[in-house]
Amino acid sequence: MTQTWAAPSATEPVRATVAVPGSKSITNRALLLAALSERGGTLTGALRSRDSLLMIEALRALGVPVDDSGDVVVVAAHPGPRGPARVDCGLAGTVMRFVPPAAAIADGDIGFDGDPRARERPMSTVLDALRALGADIDGDALPFTLHGKGGLPGGAVTIDASASSQFVSGLLLAGARYEAGLTVHHDGKPVPSLPHIDMTVQMLRTAGVTVDDSEPNTWRVEPGPIAAHDWVVEPDLSNATPFLAAAAVTGGSVTVPDWPAHTTQPGDVFGEIAAGMGCTVTRDAAGLTVHGPGRLQGIDVDLHDVGELTPTVAALAVLADGPSVLRGIAHLRGHETDRLAALATEINALGGGATETEDGLAIRPMPMHAGRWHAYDDHRMATAGAIVGLAVPGIEVDDIATTAKTLPDFPSMWARMLGNQR
């Protein structure tokens, strides 16, 4: 259900402390690893949002017992995933790319489908890889059916993961359960969002899996059991960036508590980006704090490894004093929507200046006016509209409900942040 939302404007510098829920990326990886461990596992601080609920329901469909009724999500001991089953991927990339490699060790027919836009997202890379490893699959995109045989031979496979790091992560997460383990070699343009692969490797090692990533563009996973683990989920640092951006836009100060000292989350880079645009950024026991400048500067930045931050950075760029160039993000054309086209369209429709380049956006700050900001069923497009609305009165986001993908209470969180103005 869509929900039009009048983005509130800031009447003075925003000063607030905003606690954000758990990381979607860590939550869904931990859920999958617990499902692949016959001893299960627990998650403290897990995200509760559409994407994580889709993952939980996908695992339940495969016979994995998941109890999310309390503060701690518990995956009980179980014999492993099984079919037949039907899996709803929604618009969650982590479900459509992570669950099929895990389901390949189940038996029976397992059907996968999702939202209409999900049927347009690239899937052939991971499906062709699974076929090369011994899986039987009908289809090259959603909807498709995996004919489970109760196991997968595994071995070595070469893929082009230049469209998404999720192709690599999805295969690696299940690789230890394949008979011969798994070796994934990437051959193509550089893999985007490498920190997400680092996250996958780190979490596999925490679960007792041997992973060799010493050779560039090659990852080797040894066969063997996946240990049960009690996961503590970090706050979602990418979801924190719109709130930190509010400080940058208004010359205020926003703190996100419990910011990890060491993390593989790409959102950790936002502090460097904000500093490059003139903000003062501090880390201490209180968390990470962004202090906005009197005048926000433009930036020339390569976002290849942190592409998910692009909508937030683009929203800041249109409100800066000078031009910006966002580079290395051609792969965003295959995300929840074509984010480059969507950002350029919405910025220009409100009077701003944005031009698509071969691998990104060139943004020229120009006076912007009231109007409708379209979300394109994309949670990060919706939050970008909220950021612009802080400085441009009269912005309406056409579908704020799409933020429930990773931030189920975004409008209330935004209102509470602004209510802390003083």
The CATH number assigned to the domain holding 331 equals 3.65.10.10
Same domain? 15 vs 51: no
Domain final residue, candidates 201, 232, 263: 232
Same domain? 66 vs 106: yes
Residue 300: predicted pLDDT: 98
Residue of 299, 304, 298, 319 lying closest to 384 (CA atoms): 319
Same domain? 13 vs 43: no
Residue 336: predicted pLDDT: 74
Split into its structural domains, the chain has a count of: 2
Same domain? 228 vs 241: no
- What's the angle, vertex CA 379, arms to CA 122 and CA 253, rounded to 5? 135
Q: Is the bond into 143 cis (omega within 30 degrees of 0)?
A: yes
- Residue 25 has φ and ψ, to the nearest 5°, of -60, -45
DSSP secondary structure code for residue 318 in this structure: H
Residue of 356, 363, 344 lying closest to 299 (CA atoms): 363
Q: Give the C-alpha distances (Å, rounded to integers) separating 404 from 1, 228, 342.
A: 11, 29, 19
Residues making up the chain, counted from first to last = 422
Select which of 234, 308, 336, 346 is catalytic: 308
Same domain? 249 vs 131: no
Sign of CA dihedral 139, 140, 146, 151: positive
Same domain? 206 vs 253: no
- Is 272 catalytic? The answer is no
Give the position of tokens 């299940």. 174
Report the 3 state secondary structure along 361-409. Answer: EEEECCCCCCEEECCCCCHHHHHHHHHHHHHCCCEEECCHHHHHHCCCC
Domain final residue, candidates 172, 204, 232: 232
Same domain? 261 vs 356: yes
Tens-place pLDDT, residues 388-406: 999 999 999 999 999 999 9
163: left (phi over 0), alpha (psi -120 to 50) or beta: alpha
pTM: 0.92
- For the chain, residues with pLDDT lower than 70 are 1, 420-422
SS3 142: coil
Same domain? 196 vs 306: no
Tens-place pLDDT, residues 117-144: 999 999 999 999 999 999 999 999 999 9
Calpha distance 221→240 (Å, rounded): 32
Residue 242: exposure state from Cβ atoms within 10 A (0-12, 13-18, ≥19) = buried
Same domain? 219 vs 262: no
Residue 422: predicted pLDDT: 40
Same domain? 251 vs 103: no
Domain final residue, candidates 187, 204, 232: 232
Calpha distance 102→278 (Å, rounded): 45
Calpha distance 350→375 (Å, rounded): 14
Query: What is the side-by-side order of every strand in the sheet holding 353-356?
Result: 300-302, 324-327, 361-364, 353-356
Residue 420: predicted pLDDT: 58
For residue 97, the enclosing domain spans: 24-232
Residue of 93, 28, 115 lying closest to 332 (CA atoms): 93
Same domain? 196 vs 254: no
Annotated binding-site positions? 24-25, 29, 93, 121, 164-166, 193, 308, 335, 339, 380, 405
- The partner residues of 148 in beta bridges, in order of sequence, read 108
